[in-house]
Amino acid sequence: MINIDHVSKVYPNGSAGVRDISIHIEQGEFVFFVGSSGSGKSTLIKLLLKELDPTEGIITINNVVTNDLPREKIPYLRRSLGVVFQDFRLLPNKTVYENVAFAMQVIEAPSKQIRRNVPAVLSLVGLTKKSRNYPSQLSGGEQQRTALARAIVNNPPILICDEPTGNLDPGTAWDIMDLLEDINRRGTTIVMATHAKDIVDMMQKRVVTLRRGQVIRDIQKGGYGDEAEFN
């Protein structure tokens, strides 16, 4: 599904984002990328989204080598990747319903399908009653659930989450994790960058630990690991 093969990213200023990283992720997996800030988590996420290109190595997503993907093909790669960010990134002047429908309009889905899928996915994340509200009228957890609904409404095979619980209180964070686990159980591959130790420990999923741009640990069912290791 996702294959990261000896990938390095050196920024133009000379600092290395990631160094010689190799990770293979199978379909249906739930993988945590953990590490302190500056460990290379964000760089890795950006490389997967093709927001950045690796300086060395090969990234393959869905059997497509994304390194040399022409610019005009990038949108089609991104359609197979749902994305959730720490800061939600909702459109403030659109309602919950419109924010989710927007993701379908963008890929030119038929309006009939939009009218069918949006309410379905909103009920999945438990926001049916809030569908006419604007983001400013929602709590952080509700905003992140809206973002999650937007990320999965097109049924992408892969969901990439960059610190999705970073701005949420613990209770709300768990709501989001329950949803993610639910989505994962339906077959969606989930890659989640986080430094929420308690969440990683409780979930008992695959954990890839990064430090100074390198993978220092990759275990199938594990916890966050020893803090001391990161420094």
Return residues touching other proteins (CB under 8 A): 49, 51, 72, 75-79, 83, 89-91, 93, 102-103, 105-108, 110-111, 150, 154
- Beta carbon nearer to other proteins, 64 or 106: 106
- Beta carbon nearer to other proteins, 102 or 174: 102
What is the edge-to-edge ordering of all strands in the sheet holding 64-65? 16-25, 2-10, 56-61, 64-65
Closest approach, Cβ 1 to other proteins, in A, equals 18
- Beta carbon nearer to other proteins, 106 or 202: 106
3-state SS, residue 17 = strand
CA distance 208 to 218: 4
Phi, psi of 229 (to 5 degrees): -60, -30
Helix (H) or strand (E) holding 60: strand 56-61
- Beta carbon nearer to other proteins, 49 or 216: 49
CA distance 213 to 37: 11
Q: Do residues 19 and 8 make contact, with C-beta atoms less than 8 angstroms apart?
A: yes
Closest approach, Cβ 190 to other proteins, in A, equals 17
Helix (H) or strand (E) holding 142: helix 140-152
Closest approach, Cβ 155 to other proteins, in A, equals 12
Name the token pair of 55.
Answer: 């300086």
Closest approach, Cβ 78 to other proteins, in A, equals 4
- Beta carbon nearer to other proteins, 78 or 212: 78
Query: To 5 degrees, how large is the angle CA 166–CA 119–CA 100?
Result: 45
- Beta carbon nearer to other proteins, 78 or 217: 78
Closest approach, Cβ 11 to other proteins, in A, equals 16
First to last CA, the chain: 31
Closest approach, Cβ 181 to other proteins, in A, equals 23
